[in-house]
């Protein structure tokens, strides 16, 4: 029986969450048909900003297909000292505990059966893992959308080239799983950044570049979807599949390439991106801001908002490409260059919130106080960092991001700046406003296994 109807999807997903003890008896969500086509997740009651809407469990979790990506233990995903599993499979494990774990034993045997010894299958392991799913979990995977292009499923082709052998039905299922993973899997943003998870309920949520929710992963690899804005009863819940600090051309390109759809959200349709001009450049004649006449045709014509001069997308594309190359090559430890680039070249060719400028600002925030230790920052550097934090917090507000993860991280960095200034001025006690920054950062980053250590300690102490 086909499961692609809302009633059946709700049943299957609820039963799945219930098996993992993650089903709220009164869930604030419901799967319904979306006006975007297909299905979506909707609020069954008013949800306050910051509330956890649901917690999801990965029906499949495993390495991303990144050839030569960093190796991690295939059981716990740590990158502690690794060695090959001595049972039979030869996959990397961090020690006997993982090697002999129940979770690994079944996989170990399966890998031995299907693959010749001594080959590296790490980055293609995830589809093999799907063969171990039980009937219930297979049903969950079967009800998710699958991409159907030739480029998907190459993991299986690679495995076969390496000499792996599968039963015909198994191979067919694995190829299907690859297509489902490519359409729905989330990068699990933990330390190594190279694992992906298939989260059934979260997979059914739709994307918006002006989302009303955000998500984090906890240390058990559960995904928590939290409201970033107030969500009125009945509205659809959206999160973003791309970076919020990318301009429209970059987001549209990324979404199309990886998820094969064209986003029609309010931010994408607005050539000014809510007045931030993140994708814009400066007019060579009058220094006005140049934006695409049609955000969906950035290769076509762009126009200066002031002098109305029209230029071709080829010209803007070339400039943005060049800036992207410089951005990519910036050395992490070269603050002087970043600052000079931001206030020199960039200022002369792009508006203040152009995505390249925003990324340079974020890079500066991330190095000052970290790679450049707090006690070595000059007063000027400290002031620069503080100003940039405020600057990006303002931008996120303009983008209507609410309690996004990036806001949490910026609030924390701002808190650290204020605390450092306080220490230097030998003021012992922090003012309530500064304390408030840490408090809000912690509430946003709660449950996030990637949150700064200090935030985790703050949260732990609070609950004791």
- The answer to whether 437 and 422 are in contact (CB under 8 A) is no
244 near Zn ion, rule: CB under 5 A: no
Contact stretch for Zn ion (CB under 5 A) within 23-31, 150-158, 257-265, 357-365: 257-265
Q: Give which of 59, 64, 24, 62 is closest to 44, Cα–Cα.
A: 24
In the Cβ-directed half-sphere of 139, how many Cα atoms lie within 13 Å?
15
265 near Zn ion, rule: CB under 5 A: yes
Tell me how far CA of residue 420 lies from CA of 164, 232, 309, 336, 424, in angstroms. Answer: 57, 40, 48, 21, 6
Q: In whole angstroms, how close is the CB of 265 to Zn ion at the nearest point? A: 3
Query: Which CB, 159 or 265, lies closer to Zn ion?
Result: 265
What's the DSSP call for residue 346?
A: I
Contacts of Zn ion in 290-349 (CB under 5 A): 304, 306-307, 309
- A 10 A CB-CB count for 149 gives 9
Report the distance separating Cα 331 and Cα 344, nearest Å: 17
Question: Who's near 260: CB < 8 A, 6+ residues apart?
Answer: 147, 149
Contact stretch for Zn ion (CB under 5 A) within 38-46, 89-97, 135-143, 234-242: 89-97
Contacts of Zn ion in 401-460 (CB under 5 A): none
Q: In whole angstroms, how close is the CB of 424 to Zn ion at the nearest point? A: 43
The β-bridge partners of 226 are 52, 214
209 near Zn ion, rule: CB under 5 A: yes
125 near Zn ion, rule: CB under 5 A: no
Q: In whole angstroms, how close is the CB of 217 to Zn ion at the nearest point? A: 17
Q: In whole angstroms, how close is the CB of 154 to Zn ion at the nearest point? A: 25
Q: In whole angstroms, how close is the CB of 43 to Zn ion at the nearest point? A: 20
The residue with tokens 């999801």 is: 56
Report the distance separating Cα 68 and Cα 459, nearest Å: 37
The alpha carbon of 27 is separated from its chain's Cα centroid by a whole number of angstroms, namely 24
119 near Zn ion, rule: CB under 5 A: no
74 near Zn ion, rule: CB under 5 A: no
Report the distance separating Cα 362 and Cα 112, nearest Å: 46
Q: Give which of 254, 7, 12, 36 is closest to 144, Cα–Cα.
A: 12
85 near Zn ion, rule: CB under 5 A: yes
Total of residues contacting Zn ion (CB under 5 A): 21
Phi, psi dihedral angles at 347 (to 5 degrees): -60, -30
Query: Which CB, 143 or 209, lies closer to Zn ion?
Result: 209
Query: Which CB, 133 or 286, lies closer to Zn ion?
Result: 286
* Torsion angle defined by CA atoms of residues 69, 71, 75 and 79, in that order, rounded to the nearest 10 degrees: -120
Among 278, 283, 291, 357, which residue interacts with Zn ion (rule: CB under 5 A)? 283
Report the distance separating Cα 394 and Cα 386, nearest Å: 12
Q: In whole angstroms, how close is the CB of 208 to Zn ion at the nearest point? A: 6
Among 31, 41, 89, 231, which residue interacts with Zn ion (rule: CB under 5 A)? 89
Tell me how far CA of residue 241 lies from CA of 40, 97, 334, 373, in angstroms. Answer: 14, 35, 30, 33
Contact pattern for Zn ion over residues 9 through 38, marking x by CB under 5 A? ------------------------------
In the Cβ-directed half-sphere of 294, how many Cα atoms lie within 13 Å?
5
Query: Which CB, 89 or 358, lies closer to Zn ion?
Result: 89
| 161's tokens | 């080239």
The residue with tokens 């931010």 is: 267
Q: In whole angstroms, how close is the CB of 210 to Zn ion at the nearest point? A: 7
Query: Which CB, 69 or 288, lies closer to Zn ion?
Result: 288
98 near Zn ion, rule: CB under 5 A: yes
Report the distance separating Cα 363 and Cα 436, nearest Å: 24
Q: In whole angstroms, how close is the CB of 41 to Zn ion at the nearest point? A: 18
190 near Zn ion, rule: CB under 5 A: no
Contact stretch for Zn ion (CB under 5 A) within 6-14, 74-82, 212-220, 330-338: 74-82
Report the distance separating Cα 211 and Cα 223, nearest Å: 17
The β-bridge partners of 239 are 207
Among 13, 41, 108, 183, which residue interacts with Zn ion (rule: CB under 5 A)? 108
Query: Which CB, 75 or 438, lies closer to Zn ion?
Result: 75
Among 43, 73, 131, 381, which residue interacts with Zn ion (rule: CB under 5 A)? 73
Among 30, 286, 327, 449, which residue interacts with Zn ion (rule: CB under 5 A)? 286
Q: Give which of 347, 213, 353 is closest to 272, Cα–Cα.
A: 353
Among 31, 41, 72, 75, which residue interacts with Zn ion (rule: CB under 5 A)? 75
Q: In whole angstroms, how close is the CB of 73 to Zn ion at the nearest point? A: 3
Query: Which CB, 33 or 253, lies closer to Zn ion?
Result: 253
* Chain residues in the site for Zn ion (CB under 5 A): 73, 75-76, 85, 87, 89, 94, 98, 108, 209, 263, 265, 268, 283, 285-286, 288, 304, 306-307, 309
């Amino acid at each position: 029986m086909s499961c692609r109807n809302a009633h059946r999807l709700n049943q299957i997903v609820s039963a799945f969450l219930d098996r993992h003890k993650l089903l709220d008896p009164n869930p604030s969500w419901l799967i319904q048909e979306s006006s975007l086509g297909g299905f979506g997740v909707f609020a069954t009651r008013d949800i306050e900003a910051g509330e956890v809407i649901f917690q999801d469990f990965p029906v499949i979790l495993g390495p991303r297909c990144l050839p030569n990506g960093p190796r991690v233990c295939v059981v716990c995903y740590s990158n502690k000292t690794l060695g090959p599993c001595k049972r039979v499979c030869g996959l990397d494990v961090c020690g006997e505990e993982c090697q002999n774990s129940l979770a690994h034993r079944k996989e170990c045997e399966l890998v031995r059966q299907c693959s010749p010894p001594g080959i590296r299958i790490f980055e293609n392991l995830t589809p093999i893992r799907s063969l171990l799913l039980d009937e219930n979990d297979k049903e969950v995977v079967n009800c998710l959308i699958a991409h159907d292009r030739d480029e998907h499923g190459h993991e299986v082709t690679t495995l076969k080239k390496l000499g792996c052998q599968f039963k015909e039905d198994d191979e067919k299922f694995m190829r299907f799983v690859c297509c489902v993973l490519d359409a729905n899997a989330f990068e699990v943003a933990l330390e190594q950044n190279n694992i992906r998870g298939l989260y059934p309920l979260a997979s059914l949520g739709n994307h918006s570049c002006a989302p009303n929710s955000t998500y984090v992963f906890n240390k058990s690899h559960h995904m928590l979807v939290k409201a970033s804005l107030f969500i009125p009863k009945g509205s659809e819940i959206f999160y973003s599949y791309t970076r919020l600090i990318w301009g429209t051309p970059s987001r549209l390109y990324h979404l199309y390439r990886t998820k094969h759809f064209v986003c029609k959200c309010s931010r994408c349709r607005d050539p000014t991106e809510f007045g931030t001009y993140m994708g814009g450049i400066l007019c060579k004649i009058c220094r006005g801001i140049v934006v695409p006449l049609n955000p969906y045709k950035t290769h076509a014509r762009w126009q200066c908002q002031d002098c109305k001069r029209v230029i071709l997308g080829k010209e803007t594309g070339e400039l943005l490409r060049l800036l992207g190359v410089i951005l990519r090559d910036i050395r992490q430890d070269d603050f002087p260059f970043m600052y000079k680039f931001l206030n020199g070249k960039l200022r002369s060719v792009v508006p203040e919130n152009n995505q390249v400028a925003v990324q340079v600002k974020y890079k500066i925030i991330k190095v000052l106080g970290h790679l450049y230790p707090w006690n070595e920052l000059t007063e000027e550097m400290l002031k620069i960092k503080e100003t940039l934090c405020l600057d990006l917090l303002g931008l996120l507000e303009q983008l209507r991001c609410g309690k996004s993860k990036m806001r949490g991280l910026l609030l924390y960095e701002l808190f650290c700046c204020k605390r450092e200034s306080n220490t230097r001025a030998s003021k012992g006690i922090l003012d309530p406003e500064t304390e408030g920054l840490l408090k809000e950062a912690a509430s946003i980053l709660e449950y996030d296994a990637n949150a700064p250590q200090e935030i985790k300690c703050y949260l732990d102490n609070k609950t004791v």
